[in-house]
Amino acid sequence: MAADTDVAADVRVDVAALTSLLDGRYRGVRESVRKNLAERSHVLRLAETLSTEEYRELVKDQVVELAATGQTGYGFPKEYGGGGDIGASVAAFETSAFGDLSVVVKLGVQFGLFGGAILQLGTKRHHDELLERTITGEVMGCFAMTETGHGSNVQAIGTTATYDPATQEFVIHTPDDSCRKDYIGNAGMHAHYAAVFAQLVVGGERRGVHALVVRLRDDDGTVRPGIRIEDCGRKIGLNGVDNGRIWFDQVRVPREALLDNYATVSEDGVYFSEIENPDRRFFTMLGTLVQGRVCVGGAAVNAAKVAQVIAVHHAVRRRQFGSPGTDQEELLLDYGQHQRRLLPALARTYALHFAQERVAADLHRVFSDPENSSERRRRALESRAAATKALATWHASRTIQECREACGGAGYLSINRFDALRADTDVFTTFEGDNTILLQLVAKGRLTDLRDDFGALDQLGTARYVAGIALETVVERTAMRQLLERLRDAVPNRAEGDPDAGLLDPAWQLSMFRWREDHMTQSVARRIQNGVTRGGDAVEVFSRAQDHVIASAWAHAERLVLEAFLTKLDNMPDGTNRQVLNMVCDLFALSAIEQDRAWFLEHGRLSTQRSKAITSMVNELCRKLRPHAVDLVDAFGVPREMLRTDLF
């Protein structure tokens, strides 16, 4: 990983092999999706000229057409026409993000959220009734969780589902406008059914939030009695998705409408759940829907890739200025600052790709193998998914904007896709969980064991979790240490006292990430413990430490990303591609440390001289990677039809 072992600038990366590495286990699935995208490239062009209603109909038609290819059913059981492979489902969804993102989000709502709720929260009767028709797109559905007055705090939603034993029905009701279902994708025009999350009331007693299947529209599209639906109107982006608001006025549904995998209500109104603690039951139910969060993170990374392909290719074609006395202007990517604008972000995209690959693999294992579905593993998956999604979606927003600016005025033309990419990914930072809230979940997820009485994700519960936070297990530490010993063999010794010494040592890089994470975590725990010990209100104490909680979660997330990259490198064969990716990993690690160097300096982990050396090394790595930049973005495998650009 040292500069001495860098691949020569005139030696080309094996792009096909690198694409195969990035595609991983599901290369065939990704290639199939790329082919489907290329055949439907007209959607990108038509999206710019159609009316909102026409665009929505086009997007719906694309969803139904893609369902016919089998691409959308990978994650469903084979007996209902699916592929029985959750990992393939995630790979297909991620790759779809090279194309029109309204189509991607509509796919996510139909098959990930609605279909996932039926599959994970329902039982056989729900599967028999709805799954096959959902997979084919015959039945369109939506996921009615969020309310106007209750966003991330799902446990506080106000919609009620009250059981009437006289008729053996649940009565769904919206008490007031703050409890209307809001921003619900597919609800505005197309959904026949909704998975409605409501406070279950049985025998006059609230049993917490549960999900029920509610018919919204008849086959001809007529909204059913007692239900009112309004369109949310124009949005910043994703206007091919029909977001709507839903009110329920004493709407009756049969007892069987309850998605009863985790709780049942008998005919005479007796509630039963094998999970007695209501908080634990709630988080268990939500945990089964983690696939949506995983998919959003992957889609964000792939959207960033599209922007980077366009910006890098533009940068090796566009010339401006030059040396005095010469007629030859310089290529944009030959300027150090332009390298700085594009290449550290490109390194971070690679790092997040491998982090996403890890979380998708964990998802597949947990939901495909009963031996891997323990509560501890599920909680670890939820934490990793939240961390990866937050970093990936923020990265996409920032990277797409930087790539737009790096293309100058040309980046402002719609044909070059930056307007749609920027607008359509903006909401990724807040759906499937607002990123700031997710990082609180990450801080909570640092515990190795969960206690029932700490199940609620409120401020008091989180404060207690963070106060009891623990380091990784000895087994995990040992495995990473062995990996680092193997990687470190490639790093030559440096002269002691040299400020560059060890900068390219993966063990030193990871130690910096770990030290920051551990220090922040312990500091947060002390702040909260001391505040509560001195008699402070737990909620107020937590609120005052909230910025530190978020920072510790960010540090934890970045450490997970670096470890995923290092693990990938360890499993690669020697050769040019590994040497180039070594440099990419170095650039990710050092640019992340550089970005937070004020904190490292404040806490005595970096000297001023060492900090300057990191900046110099980042610059050097950018220069060394510049000849390979085009190969690195071409390896993403974005279909040429999806680029549309007139920049190259």
Q: Where are the beta strands (DSSP E) in 179-234?
A: 181-184, 193-202, 205-215, 227-231
Q: How far is CA 474 from CA 80, 260, 463, 470, 563, in A?
A: 43, 39, 25, 11, 16
Please give the share of the chain, as a percent, with pLDDT higher than 90: 75
Main-chain phi, psi angles of 461, to 5 degrees: -60, -45
Structural domain contains residue 534: yes
pLDDT band at 483 (very low <50, low <70, confident <90, very high): low
Give the tokens for residue 478.
């040992």
Do 271 and 243 have their domain in common?
Answer: yes
For the domain that residue 125 is a member of, what is the CATH number? 1.10.540.10
Structural domain contains residue 7: no
DSSP 62-80: HHHHHHHHTGGGTTS-GGG
**List of residues 6+ apart from 343 with CB closer than 8 A:** 587, 621, 622, 625, 626, 629
Which residue from 76, 98, 146, 586 is spatially nearest to 298, judged by alpha carbons? 98
Q: What is the mean pLDDT of residues 290-315?
A: 96
Structural domain contains residue 1: no
Structural domain contains residue 390: yes
Beta bridge partners of 229: 246
Do 554 and 594 have their domain in common?
Answer: yes
Do 51 and 177 have their domain in common?
Answer: no
In this structure, the number of other CB atoms found within 10 A of the CB of residue 3 comes to: 15
Give the tokens for residue 3.
């500069």
The C-alpha atoms of residue 73 and residue 274 are separated, in whole angstroms, by 30
pLDDT at 482: 62
Question: Is residue 538 within 8 Å of residue 460, measured between CB atoms?
Answer: yes
Q: What is the mean pLDDT of residues 342-365?
A: 97
Dihedral of the CA atoms 121, 123, 124, 130 (nearest 10)? -40
Do 129 and 149 have their domain in common?
Answer: no
Helix (H, G, I), strand (E, B) or coil at 108: helix
pLDDT band at 498 (very low <50, low <70, confident <90, very high): low
Question: Is residue 211 within 8 Å of residue 193, measured between CB atoms?
Answer: no
Do 349 and 382 have their domain in common?
Answer: yes
Do 132 and 35 have their domain in common?
Answer: yes
DSSP character at residue 81: T
Do 262 and 300 have their domain in common?
Answer: no
Do 152 and 220 have their domain in common?
Answer: yes
Q: Is the pLDDT reported for residue 2 higher than 90?
A: no
Give the tokens for residue 180.
């209307």
The C-alpha atoms of residue 646 and residue 648 are separated, in whole angstroms, by 6
Q: What is the mean pLDDT of residues 310-332?
A: 83
pLDDT band at 530 (very low <50, low <70, confident <90, very high): confident
CB half-sphere exposure, 190, CA atoms < 13 A: 31
Structural domain contains residue 111: yes
Question: Is residue 181 within 8 Å of residue 144, measured between CB atoms?
Answer: yes
Least-confidence region, from 119-133, 413-427, 470-484, 579-593: 470-484
CB half-sphere exposure, 294, CA atoms < 13 A: 31
The C-alpha atoms of residue 286 and residue 293 are separated, in whole angstroms, by 11
Q: Which residue in the block uniquely carries the two structure tokens 């106060």?
A: 467
Do 227 and 311 have their domain in common?
Answer: no
Question: Is residue 263 within 8 Å of residue 273, measured between CB atoms?
Answer: yes
Helix (H, G, I), strand (E, B) or coil at 230: strand
Give the tokens for residue 322.
């030059």
Q: Strands 193-202, 160-164: parallel, antiparallel or unpaired by DSSP?
A: parallel
pLDDT band at 477 (very low <50, low <70, confident <90, very high): low
For the domain that residue 364 is a member of, what is the CATH number? 1.20.140.10
Q: What is the mean pLDDT of residues 361-365?
A: 94
Do 377 and 441 have their domain in common?
Answer: yes
- Reported as a single tens digit per residue, the pLDDT across 259-295 is 999 999 999 999 999 998 888 898 888 888 899 999 9
Helices (H), ranges, 449-537: 459-467, 474-488, 506-533
The amino acid that residue 477 corresponds to is: R
Q: Is the pLDDT reported for residue 519 higher than 80?
A: yes
Domain hosting residue 385, numbered range: 291-643
Main-chain phi, psi angles of 223, to 5 degrees: -70, 135
Q: Which domain-ending residue is among 226, 244, 277?
A: 277
Question: Is residue 256 within 8 Å of residue 74, measured between CB atoms?
Answer: no
Question: How much is the mean pLDDT over the chain?
Answer: 89
Give the tokens for residue 113.
């959220």
**List of residues 6+ apart from 595 with CB closer than 8 A:** none
Do 189 and 271 have their domain in common?
Answer: yes
Q: Which domain-ending residue is among 249, 277, 305?
A: 277
Question: Is residue 229 within 8 Å of residue 223, measured between CB atoms?
Answer: yes
Question: Is residue 87 within 8 Å of residue 28, measured between CB atoms?
Answer: no
CB half-sphere exposure, 5, CA atoms < 13 A: 22
Do 450 and 573 have their domain in common?
Answer: yes
Give the tokens for residue 188.
């505005």
**List of residues 6+ apart from 39 with CB closer than 8 A:** none
In this structure, the number of other CB atoms found within 10 A of the CB of residue 606 comes to: 21
In this structure, the number of other CB atoms found within 10 A of the CB of residue 406 comes to: 23
Structural domain contains residue 578: yes
Which residue from 450, 435, 465 is spatially nearest to 528, judged by alpha carbons? 465
Number of domains, the chain: 3
**Sheet of 181-184, strand order:** 181-184, 244-248, 227-231
Give the tokens for residue 146.
């969020």
Q: Which domain-ending residue is among 237, 255, 277?
A: 277
pTM of the model: 0.91
For the domain that residue 243 is a member of, what is the CATH number? 2.40.110.10
Give the tokens for residue 500.
């560059």
Structural domain contains residue 147: yes
Structural domain contains residue 285: no
